[in-house]
Every structure is written in structure tokens, then in C-alpha cells.
């Protein structure tokens, strides 16, 4: 029989009590804390308070993040204002002390690849002279006795950078050097006191030999 006053029927469900809500909130917070400590912190930040990141391997994710993006010219990539040049030269060293110096003008940060070979064993010294300073300010980066050498070089400062070769043997020795790099000009200093500048060339141009 219907209610004569038109009262609505009772609701089919019941409203949760404050105690039930508090318990549910506490459980959710605990679960979030567990996820934070066992997954998020080890994987994202390398923080592993419970040791679970190491056990599950998640800690490795924090160790394999991609390197940060650096400004152009401040990392391993060094853009250059001009194209690179190539150069091949050949020198004859007289017996018992004949020598030659051959160097390139390089700006700070400019790179060069090189290879040289000799028909005999020679003394060599790769050294530089900073721009605007006297020869006494020269820095020597590699020296020794050999019949060949190869490698790469990045100029720490602007100046002239290159080799000194000397023949202490009793036979004539021929030295051939080939380079590619961001240099402007090559300079030869001979044992008779003379000096020459050589224009370097774009890739594909015929090589020149020193007189």
C-alpha cells in the first residue's frame, strides 16, 4: 500500500561511513607509497631505498637515460666556418742531421687527420706555436723516433701546428705527409734557414710536392 503522504521509497544502497572512507584512503596512500619506492624512484631517479630496483632490474633504466642536448660547438660536434682542405707533401732529408719543419695554421678547436711515412727511421716532434707568441712558447705534444705516424689532432689554440723531422742516418731519407683538416695555409721551415708558405687545396685538387 502506498504512503498516503507521498514519501519517496527508501534508497537501495547505503552511504559509506567516515570510518570506511578513511580506511580506503589509507590503503590508497600505502599503495602509492609502495609504487613510488619500488618502481618510480629506482627507474626514474636511481633511488632504491628498498633494494627492489636492483632486484628487478628497474634501476638500470635510470642509468641508460639519453645524454642531454648540448649547445652547438660545446660538445663533440664542432661546426667549422669553412670547408676542410687536403694536402700532400714530400721532403728530402740529407744525411747526418738534415731536417725540415712543416706546420699548418689552425684556429682554436680546428681538427686535422694526418699520416706520414719515411723511407728510413727519423727523429720527429709534433709541436705548436701559439699565435702572437715567440717560438720559445712552443708546446711539444708527441716526439720520438719512427718511420711513420698517423692520427688526429685538435688544436688547443690558434697558431701553427706540425712536425719537425730530422735524419741522423748516413743515407738520404724521403718523408711524405698527407693531411686533411680545417687549416688555412701550410708553412715549411728548411735546414738552410729558408721558409715557404704553401696554399692548401680543396678536396679533389691535384696535390703539390715541396721543391
Same structural domain, 132 and 100: yes
Which of 124, 120, 114 is CA-nearest to residue 178?
Answer: 114
* 197: three-class secondary structure by DSSP: strand
SS3 62: helix
Give the pLDDT confidence score for residue 71 in this predicted structure: 56
Q: 91 and 150 in one domain?
A: yes
- Tell me which of 68-72, 132-136, 175-179, 197-201 is least confident: 68-72
Tell me what pLDDT residue 35 has. 73
Does 25 share its domain with 94? no
Q: Number of folded domains in the chain?
A: 2
Does 113 map to a domain?
yes
User: Of the given ranges (44-53, 126-135, 149-158, 168-177), which has the lowest mean pLDDT?
Assistant: 44-53
Residue that is last in its domain, among 63, 94, 117: 63
In this structure, the answer to whether residues 55 and 92 fall within a common structural domain is no
Q: Does residue 39 lie in a domain region?
A: yes
At 211 the pLDDT is 45
Phi-psi region of 83 (alpha: psi -120 to 50; beta: other; left: phi over 0): beta
Answering whether pTM is above 0.85, one says no
For 183, the domain range is: 85-199
The yes-or-no verdict on residue 61 having pLDDT over 70 is no
Tell me whether residue 13 is in a domain.
no
**Are 157 and 107 in the same domain?**
yes
From residue 150, how far is each of 2, 100, 112, 142, 178 by CA, in Å?
105, 18, 11, 12, 9
Could you give the CA distance from residue 176 to residue 147 in angstroms, rounded to a whole number?
A: 10
Three-class SS state of 111: strand
At 208 the pLDDT is 54
Q: Which pLDDT does position 202 carry in this prediction? A: 79
pLDDT digits (tens, 9 = 90+) for 91-148: 999 999 999 999 999 999 999 999 999 999 999 999 999 999 988 889 999 999 999 9
The domain spanning residue 144 has which CATH number? 2.60.120.510
Interval 159-195: pLDDT, tens: 999 999 999 999 999 999 999 999 989 999 987 888 8
Asked whether residue 211 is domain-assigned, the answer is: no
Average pLDDT of the chain to the nearest whole number: 82
Residues 37 and 89 in one domain: no
Amino acid at each position: 500500500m502506498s504512503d498516503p503522504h507521498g514519501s519517496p521509497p527508501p534508497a537501495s544502497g547505503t552511504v559509506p561511513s567516515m570510518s570506511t572512507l578513511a580506511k580506503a584512503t589509507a590503503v590508497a596512500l600505502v599503495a602509492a607509497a609502495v609504487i613510488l619506492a619500488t618502481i618510480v624512484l629506482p627507474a626514474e631517479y636511481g633511488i632504491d631505498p628498498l633494494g627492489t630496483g636492483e632486484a628487478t632490474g628497474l634501476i638500470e633504466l635510470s642509468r641508460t637515460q639519453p645524454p642531454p642536448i648540448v649547445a652547438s660547438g660545446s660538445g663533440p660536434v664542432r661546426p667549422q666556418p669553412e670547408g676542410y682542405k687536403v694536402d700532400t707533401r714530400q721532403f728530402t732529408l740529407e744525411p747526418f742531421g738534415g731536417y725540415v719543419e712543416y706546420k699548418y695554421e689552425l684556429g682554436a678547436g680546428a681538427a686535422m687527420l694526418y699520416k706520414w711515412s719515411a723511407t728510413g727511421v727519423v727523429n720527429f716532434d709534433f709541436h705548436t706555436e701559439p699565435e702572437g707568441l715567440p717560438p720559445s712558447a712552443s708546446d711539444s705534444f708527441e716526439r720520438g723516433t719512427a718511420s711513420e705516424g698517423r692520427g688526429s689532432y685538435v688544436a688547443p689554440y690558434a697558431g701553427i701546428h706540425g712536425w719537425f723531422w730530422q735524419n741522423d742516418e748516413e743515407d738520404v731519407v724521403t718523408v711524405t705527409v698527407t693531411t686533411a683538416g680545417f687549416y688555412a695555409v701550410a708553412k715549411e721551415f728548411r735546414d738552410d734557414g729558408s721558409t715557404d708558405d704553401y696554399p692548401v687545396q680543396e678536396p679533389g685538387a691535384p696535390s703539390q710536392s715541396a721543391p
